[in-house]
Structure 1
């Protein structure tokens, strides 16, 4: 399946999530690429839009090789691939330094994206976690576990595309998972989009502000 852009992918996901509209869901995006997708879902479901802030932990000397990820929260969630950690020889000290650095970057992004806005309370409400696609799943696994700790009534994963092995691993982390496509020939998320530009921080902020505006309008 080839999506025109993230907006179209979000609209298609929203159609699969309509059953949650009357359950007061909260939509949570992984920035930056997940935000335009999640925005469309939140718009259709008339739901608040918020972020799950996650930072990938790269291997020593190979920062693009993900050993795991750290996600924000009262108890920050660190998820690693033990086999890969052993393979690259990453020490406990290295992982702890990477965890601290990741949390510092998360705090910086929180300030940039959210300013003084507090997190949306998801306790007792369905939480729909959205990204524009998933490759290995390390970052998403950390995001899902951190979200689960916030006690939603249900945890739903919704993404346009992911490879089959990643899909199978992540299904066990959630109550429900929705994937529009699970192709076996998977090299990068961007291959499934005609338009896949890198988003700027300001675009994320603008979409969050638009989402707050339409939720506020519905409540008045």
Structure 2
């Protein structure tokens, strides 16, 4: 059963939930590309500024959709040791994929911001929004970037995610995020796209347009 019509629908529903108990002084960050249409609706609902945190999945070379980690701005890097081990990826191969994805992070950050400086974050709440979570690698990297930029609080908000990944993000004395908000956490989760009727890829131009129109 599909949970959301499209990313804008998911964003409106997520925004409605967050408005009921809004985080203090938020900056809404979409994870490009698919997270930005969701984040735009959340930012509109909260009357908050919208920006991007550019993060790239580091995929297993012969199975790119399987994340063995993620890299992002501010030198952020996260590795999924279990995936690296199970896939039998050696350190040299892993570093090569990380290097390639770092170059893409730089390119996309320049493209999406179009010369604008990142939204100031020191002492504010970083509200990190994506269209869903699969392994959690990209969200972990995004949280690391937000903390490096001086966020007083980091909140992750997504329409859908696996229950076990949500538990990992919230776990321990030093959790990845201070708060995790999720509309649907179905058992037997398989893929984010299965929970949308329309899950077409978000073009770069749409991300640029949404960011420009929010300012």
Q: How do 1:52-91 residues align onto structure 2 when only pairs under 5 Å count?
A: 52-73=53-74, 76-91=75-90
Report runs of 4+ in structure 1 exceeding 3 Å deviation: none
Work out the CA distance in 1 between the residues paired with 2:104 and 2:63.
Answer: 19
Deviations 1:138-160 (Å, cap 9, x if unpaired)?
12111112212212111101000
Given that residues 123 and 151 in structure 1 are in contact (C-alpha distance below 8 angstroms), is that contact kept between their aligned partners in structure 2? yes
> Is the counterpart of residue 200 in structure 1 residue 203 in structure 2?
yes
Give the distance between the partners of 2:82 and 2:191, measured in 1 at CA. Answer: 22
Equivalences for residues 110-125 of structure 1 within 5 A: 110-125=109-124
Q: Do residues 176 (structure 1) and 175 (structure 2) align?
A: no
1:136-155 correspondence runs (5 A): 136-155=135-154
Deviation of the 1:24 alpha carbon: 2.2
- Tell me which of 181, 191, 196 is aligned to 2:194: 191
TM-score in terms of structure 2 length? 0.92
Partner of 2:22: 20
Q: CA deviation at 1:42?
A: 0.5
- Work out the CA distance in 1 between the residues paired with 2:94 and 2:60: 9
Change (3 A) 1:193 1:61: closer
Are 1:157 and 2:156 an aligned pair? yes
TM-score (norm 1): 0.90
The aligned runs of 1:88-99 (5 Å cut-off) are 88-99=87-98
Report the Cα distance in structure 2 between the residues aligned to 1:62 and 1:5, rounded to whole angstroms.
26
Which blocks of at least 5 consecutive residues in structure 2 are unaligned? none
1:111-142 CA distance string (max 9 Å, x none):
22112111111110011000011111112111
Spell out, residue by residue over 1:41-78, the C-alpha distance to the aligned partner (whole angstroms, 9 max, x if none): 111111111111111112233323211111111xx111
- What's the offset of the Cα at 1:20? 2.6
Given that 1:60 and 1:88 are in contact with CA atoms closer than 8 Å, whether structure 2 keeps it comes out as: no
Whole-angstrom CA distance in 2 between matches of 1:185 and 1:86: 23
Q: CA RMSD in A?
A: 1.4
State the shift of 1:170 in Å.
1.4
Moved more, 167-176 or 90-99: 90-99
